Structure 1
């Protein structure tokens, strides 16, 4: 071993020593591991021999797992504690990792070795998970261009490398544009209507910058309350414009971090890559490993949902305009920066409830511990904090999961609050993947990251019900990763799961946030401990599907835009990004945003995440999750048998079997859209 033991990225058997990782450690560690992996691969493939799971695939999984364990904390820190030195180290490694991945995927000798195992007598003796791992690998070799002539392989490699650089730059531009804007306000009058919880966040931000008064930023806990509650229409417009023009040619930072040239190049390269591999467009390539059977099926699915929800969404919108004009006295035309504000007013007028009324009942610690109790009742697992883990920030907590017999199942980091230099949004990512063989017992470890309203002063962090739902969603992903019983990294947890099925366990968990029995576990007034009162619960339920058709068409707008962008790309005409978005909005939107809006420039899911030509997955998986949950509605939301079935048939299976087979094993039939329409208030 040529390992430099002084470099903390090599300490791969225990948890990452975050406090000791330095930007200067990153590139040397990755260089060393890549060199060692290449040498190992040459040894594994050297000489004529009969290949087997034990002499080829297991050692391959081991070497790639070691690389993943070194890279994972670097990639994570780049997202949650971003700084210039780390960013430079991260970016220096991206082309090297991209080349390495392409090299493996295009290695003809390795491909033939996998094929030899599949065609040999030993195949029948392999488990479902082992067979799935090999089948997926053979598919992925083809998708990496293993069959291409040499010149095309070279081009493929160059495209892959460039795409990884462009995605990283897109994300950096978005982070920098978000951090670059703030508004300083000294006079509290200018913030009339904004709730105390948000004012506290803004005051704390001002103190951090050593300014008097309040500071508004584009982080969600600051941006969202302004859009929903600020009485000043001019302020709402100013903040809306700053947010909706991030990383674009217009708005307050116009041209400084513009993502448009990156998007154009990303779409052109994706299209070229797809065509190199024999697909008509990138949407077709994207579906190759997914559940959906073809581009026509996806478009048909989205169009069907649009036809069902658009008429209702238009009614919702007409009602909102009427309310703003007749009740609230708005004399001008309703604009994009008015939507959340008047929607919140209408919700309060009709249901006498706002997100702020619920916040005192959801202190973060209470919600987290209640969530652990929900999954204990469902799956018999116990979750305990551990104080000795090394983390990247004082807010981060670390937990361990044990099953009923006391055996360890997984571990996770929980990083709940928004802060500067942390990527926006909420996500789950892998720190370690389950890997078990005769020499190794590696537990899965997850990162669960959110951007919630932080604690202010002495008061604990109080979450909105939307934030509670987001936490349950990410925890659902985490459970899928951590509760797997599959021992091989390539198909353990979320690995090998089709992208359009991967949202099933996350969306599924959200349902408990609406059930009285579960809310009694996760709510408790931060001062009195009182459970969520029945009157508030009833109002919350009544308001559950408030404007759900408008929310549905908004998601369909994103999904159709993403899919058509990749399906209809024409090199002769370029990406036509805003033109296509306008066409989609003509079809499904209830209100056209202003001309300066540059939504695509911050649509990180598809330009810097894994959702390219796959954003439809959210709606696709929602059909699965709503239908899976309907079994709990029939049999009891804490029915242990039903919970155990979901654990065994879905959560534990990883990517070892086709997603539809797992769904049918749990539900007893193929999925039906009825439960989704009922949950969304759109059933006929």
Structure 2
């Protein structure tokens, strides 16, 4: 099998076209054996040093990491039942492998020995960080526990890895299972032509007349924004909110309760009060109290603005259509109408200026202006789907920097949302700087027969956001792969992504790429002015929405789960301080809250807002000197993007900015604090 298994031959770029699903299990099995041998070699060292123990441990399991990256990235972007089954089977193997390392007494003894003698090794800051990271990793994963408690921890970790996969598979299955079939166009007033065209195309694919709408974002979001048929908006909104909350095999309620219970037990086993206490010890925020204080402070400032905006929206809907009480399925629709009235601006007006290919060229050009990067599309790189675009990335001196994969459109095998991931991390060997392989995955509308893929402005900012993460990966320049690129504290990781979104609002940047796809005319200045004016539209409500998710996440991960009887009731209580719209009894957010139950954001959702403070403050540095100021860009590249997780985030940030971030920069940008109140 080894001979014919492409995953077991040394590969630079994943050999997607040669991989069959049957290759994954034997490859992972083999790679685990190899990694165990590497660990064994480390424990045989007679005199542990930084190089033969800590650096060697950081490199151990490299082949396993690469094979796993291929499998789990495919499970998110191009999955099928077979891949889902394989991930369920191998996840406990990988958990066991990690636990074997963390409970390896001989290995921990060697690591501990280096840790206790660290002053004698003359380590640089990056080496000190790596040593601290590995030492803490052992302690935080049970190295000091008794054998019976280590066995309990192993059991918990295996269960958690399986449950989080099941959670995600259920959400994907629910998303794919639902379709809204509408026969007559007369029921779909208000929907833009391209949305109708896509829905009609989907119906034709299935041999049906009329239009089919799905719970995929490019179908769902414009439907909720533009469809005048309130009854159909309600139907689709209820279906979206019921994912994982229906009486069927995909119900996630018990899985949610099991996950939070196991996380709580795990934290208690390791001597922490809660999962949030455990998680936040290794974050910039440090404690649940600091996070809750941060969220409560923002809530205090945002809620009056949000209530005022909601009252205005309620009055607008009442005057326009006689709606007495705004419901969940009304907010996006009337907000869009009010925005059009206030700013004479709507997505359909803007979309012709944002064809996907031009936006890609635009973000590349902005990366070139800021960081000297050049992107060359190539067709010689193997890929997992025909729709994926592949690029080689070079710096201004023609040095190779990265391989870049970009996957933009929804498919049945792809989960919702947008994300950045890696197929290979950057690190240095004795002879060379191994360059990374970075991927971004999105779900933008596909081209139709008559139009290219045209992006909403929100989709433009999404692309810039994920590309900001990608830059963090591409420009990485660290010694060790576990400190490379976005391998940073979770509440620091969103800084590069959210910072890059700022350029979407700047005329200098928009002039680079925002041109009408038919005429080539640049986006009119008045549209740019309106985009900027509309940037803070309903910012209070948007802030409240983000805070509600952060508060829900913290509630799940600070509460004793024995006290939680009903997922829905618990969620309602957590949402109460931020609620503007009446609850919908058929819907539940937690059962599809993939960020915290499948992704890595448990006790970390607050980090989006936390990073907004950082990015608002960081962008002020650019604004002060010009948005394409090379000196500021160089400082950001040198102190943040290249450095990954090599030092404490605040140390790196202060080197870039010369000071700690000022939270008022965010409130000022969001219009929640007037400039004259700045201290």
Matched, 1:22 2:14: no
Q: Contact 1:12 / 1:69 at 8 angstroms: preserved in 2? A: no
Contact 2:54-2:134 at 8 Å conserved across structures = no
Q: Distance in 2 between matches of 1:390 and 1:200?
A: 32
**Residue equivalent to 2:77:** 80
Structure 2 residue aligned with 1:7 = 5
The alpha-carbon deviation at position 594 of structure 1 amounts to 1.3
Counterpart of 1:405?
397
Equivalent in 111, 116, 123 of residue 113 of structure 2: 116
Is the 1:626–1:679 Cα contact (8 Å) retained in structure 2?
yes
Range with bigger deviation, 526-535 or 113-122? 113-122
2: CA distance between counterparts of 1:201 and 1:575?
43
Give the stretch that moved more between structures: 661-670 or 121-130: 121-130
Q: CA deviation at 1:524?
A: 1.2
Give distance in 1, aligned partners of 2:132 and 2:10.
28
Q: Say yes or no: does 1:239 pair with 2:239.
A: no
Match of 1:677 among 661, 667, 670: 667
Unaligned runs of 5+ in 1: none
1:84 deviates by 1.1
Aligned to 2:155: 158
Q: Distance in 1 between matches of 2:250 and 2:120?
A: 52
Instruction: Tell me if 1:597 matches 2:595.
Output: no
Give the CA deviation at 1:580: 3.2
Q: CA deviation at 1:393?
A: 1.3
Which of 330, 335, 347 is equivalent to 1:338? 330
Give the count of matched residue pairs.
Answer: 674
- What is the CA–CA distance in structure 1 between the aligned matches of 2:265 and 2:379, rounded to whole Å? 50
Aligned to 2:571: 581
Helix, strand or coil at the partner of 1:451 = coil
Shift of 1:441: 3.9
Distance 2:603 2:55 in 1: 32
Q: Take 1:669 and 1:682, find their aligned partners in 2: how far apart are those partners?
A: 23
Report the Cα distance in structure 2 between the residues aligned to 1:479 and 1:12, rounded to whole angstroms.
Answer: 26
CA distance in 2, matches of 1:39, 1:377: 46
Q: 1:123 to 1:175 in 2, by over 3 A?
A: farther
In structure 2, what is the equivalent of residue 520 of structure 1? Answer: 511
Does the residue aligned with 2:443 lie in a helix, a strand or coil?
Answer: strand
Correspondence 1:607-626 to 2 at 5 A: 607-626=597-616
CA displacement at 1:490 relative to structure 2: 1.3
Aligned-partner SS, 1:86: helix
- Give the secondary structure class of the aligned counterpart of 1:68: helix
The alpha-carbon deviation at position 22 of structure 1 amounts to 1.1
Q: Name which of 469, 476, 501 aligns with 1:477.
A: 469
The answer on whether the counterparts of 1:569 and 1:575 sit within 8 Å (CA) in structure 2 is no
Aligned to 1:651: 641
- In 2, are the aligned partners of 1:493 and 1:655 still within 8 Å (CA)? yes
- In the superposition, the TM-score normalised over structure 1's length comes to 0.96
Whether the aligned pair in 1 keeps the contact of 2:495 and 2:611 (CA below 8 Å) is: yes
Partner of 2:309: 316
Taking the aligned partners of 1:85 and 1:303, their CA distance within structure 2 comes to: 45
User: Separation in 1 of the partners of 2:275 and 2:176?
Assistant: 32
Equivalent residue for 1:446, pick from 426, 438, 446: 438
Q: CA RMSD in A?
A: 1.5
Which residue, out of 517, 522, 538, partners 1:547?
Answer: 538
- Other structure's SS at 1:452 match: coil
**1:565 aligns to what?**
556
| In 2: Cα distance, 1:639 partner to 1:440 partner | 31
Structure 2 distance, partners of 1:491, 1:568, is 32
Worse-matched range after superposition: 514-523 or 576-585: 576-585
Partners of 1:206 and 1:86 in 2: CA distance? 28
Partner of 2:547: 556
How far does residue 130 in structure 1 lie from its aligned partner after superposition? 1.7
Q: Deviations over 1:578-600 (max 9, x none)?
A: 33322232212222331112111
Take 1:406 and 1:128, find their aligned partners in 2: how far apart are those partners? 30
Alpha-carbon separation, structure 1, partners of 2:509 and 2:245 = 43
* Contact 1:418 1:450 (8 Å CA) reproduced: yes
Q: Deviations over 1:274-329 (max 9, x none)?
A: 00000011110010211113211111000000000001100000000000011x12
Q: TM-score, normalised by structure 2?
A: 0.97
Cα distance, 1:124 vs structure 2: 4.0
Partner residue of 2:58? 61
Equivalent position to 1:37, from 29, 35, 38:
35
Q: How far apart are residue 122 of structure 1 and its match?
A: 7.3
**C-alpha separation between the residues in 1 aligned to 2:461 and 2:348?**
15
CA distance in 2, matches of 1:583, 1:365: 45
Q: Contact 1:429 / 1:448 at 8 angstroms: preserved in 2?
A: yes
Which region of structure 1 is more displaced relative to structure 2, 159-168 or 434-443?
434-443
- Is residue 178 of structure 1 aligned with residue 175 of structure 2? yes
Query: Residues of 2 paired with 1:499 and 1:228: CA distance?
Result: 32
Contact 1:382 1:404 (8 Å CA) reproduced = yes
Report 1:74-473 matches (<5 A).
Answer: 74-120=71-117, 123-249=120-246, 254-326=247-319, 328-439=320-431, 441-473=433-465
Moved more, 280-289 or 329-338: 329-338
Q: CA deviation at 1:440?
A: 5.2
* Contact 1:371–1:521, Cα closer than 8 Å, also in 2: no
Q: Secondary structure at the match of 2:442?
A: strand
SS at match of 2:209: coil
- In structure 2, do the counterparts of structure 1 residues 135 and 578 end up closer, same or farther at CA, with 3 Å as the change threshold? same
CA–CA separation in structure 2 for the residues paired with 1:196 and 1:593: 33
**SS of corresponding position for 2:392:** strand
Distance 1:440 1:247 in 2: 48
Q: CA deviation at 1:247?
A: 1.4
Partner of 1:529 in structure 2?
520
3-state SS in 1 of match to 2:112: helix
Matched position secondary structure for 2:393: strand
Query: Does the 8 A contact of 2:564 with 2:570 survive in 1?
Result: no
Structure 2: state its 5+ residue gaps.
675-679
1:488 aligns with 2:480: yes
CA contact (8 A) 1:26 1:90 kept: no
Shift of 1:574: 2.8
